[in-house]
Amino acid sequence: MPHCPRCSQPVDASAIACPHCQIPLKAYGHPGIPLHRSQGEEYLCTTCLYHEDDTCNFPQRPFAQDCTLYHDRSEPILPLSSQYISGSWPQLVKSWCQRNIFWLFLLGLVIVSLLLSL
């Protein structure tokens, strides 16, 4: 269970604002947009991956103390489990077919059209 950055009280992970001090925990009141906050007087930009590679377009850069784009540069962008798909051959074929269903449908349509034209 996460803690409020201001009052350090435990809060629900889906809470939009802290029930104790009313500080916003989610950006724009949307439960799917996390709002990252710095601790104390430091700035988030000093440890942000997007500031380091100069792709940040946040208006408060480089002095942002709360940010929706923040990603700590010491953490990998993708979790290690999603970088490599493992499994048996049928499972790999099934996942490939699910990812490329449009192209399979289009190929089937072309094959049916060719068969009907004969």
Q: Is 83 helix (H, G, I), strand (E, B) or coil?
A: helix
Q: Mean of the pLDDT values across residues 99-118? A: 95
What single-letter amino acid sits at 68?
T
Question: Where in the sequence is the domain holding 109, given as residue range(s)?
Answer: 84-117
Domains held by the chain: number: 1
Residue 57 within any structural domain of the chain: no
Q: What is the pTM of this model?
A: 0.55
d(Cα 24, Cα 1) in Å, to the nearest integer? 16
Decide if pLDDT at 81 tops 90.
no
Of 92, 39, 44, nearest in space to 67 by CA? 44
On whether the CB atoms of residues 42 and 66 are closer than 8 A, the answer is no
Q: Which pLDDT score is estimated for 80?
A: 55
Q: Which pLDDT score is estimated for 102?
A: 96
Residue 25 within any structural domain of the chain: no
Decide if pLDDT at 79 tops 70.
no
Decide if pLDDT at 104 tops 80.
yes
| pLDDT tens per residue across span 46-77 | 889 888 888 888 888 889 888 888 888 888 77
Q: Which pLDDT score is estimated for 84?
A: 54
Residue 61 within any structural domain of the chain: no
Half-sphere exposure of 84 (CA within 13 A, CB side): 3
Residue 110 within any structural domain of the chain: yes
Phi-psi region of 20 (alpha: psi -120 to 50; beta: other; left: phi over 0): alpha
Q: Mean of the pLDDT values across residues 9-37? A: 86
Q: Which pLDDT score is estimated for 109?
A: 97
